[in-house]
Amino acid sequence: MNDLGFREKRSGYAAFEATVSGRVQHVGFRYYACVEADRLGILGWIRNDPNGNVAVHAEGEPENLEKFLSWLRKGPPHGKVDAVNVNRLPPDGTYKRFAVDYE
């Protein structure tokens, strides 16, 4: 980690941003996603969008990102995921954990 507490960019890490649509708000989606991301060592954020979707930025080892993406496609017990649109991109390496973004 650098002096500010952020992780340095890691070799071999990948990243994606995703938009999850369906019944994904008010069902614990963000909470369960944080639990799953922590279990897999994923870094980044998740937030509710005003249009009812959930937005995700995730960084980590490619194998674990695929597992996390599989989880996003399923969602939590009381949710219903209709679609996950994914945009793969290079990791920016500025995250030290996975957290809810309330902005």
Q: Which domains does the chain have, with CATH numbers?
A: 17-100 (3.30.70.100)
Please give the model's pTM, rounded to 2 decimal places. 0.88
With cut-offs at 50, 70 and 90, classify the pLDDT of residue 10.
low
Q: Which residues are designated catalytic?
A: 30, 48
pLDDT tens figures, 39-51 = 999 999 999 999 9
Q: 17 is written with which tokens?
A: 């941003």
> Is 7 a residue whose pLDDT tops 50?
no
Three-class DSSP labels, the chain: CCCCCCCCCCCCCEEEEEEEEEECCCCCHHHHHHHHHHHHCCEEEEEECCCCCEEEEEEECHHHHHHHHHHHHHCCCCCEEEEEEEEEECCCCCCCCEEECCC
**CA pair distance 99, 78, nearest whole angstrom:** 21
Choice between 103 and 97, residue whose per-residue pLDDT is larger: 97
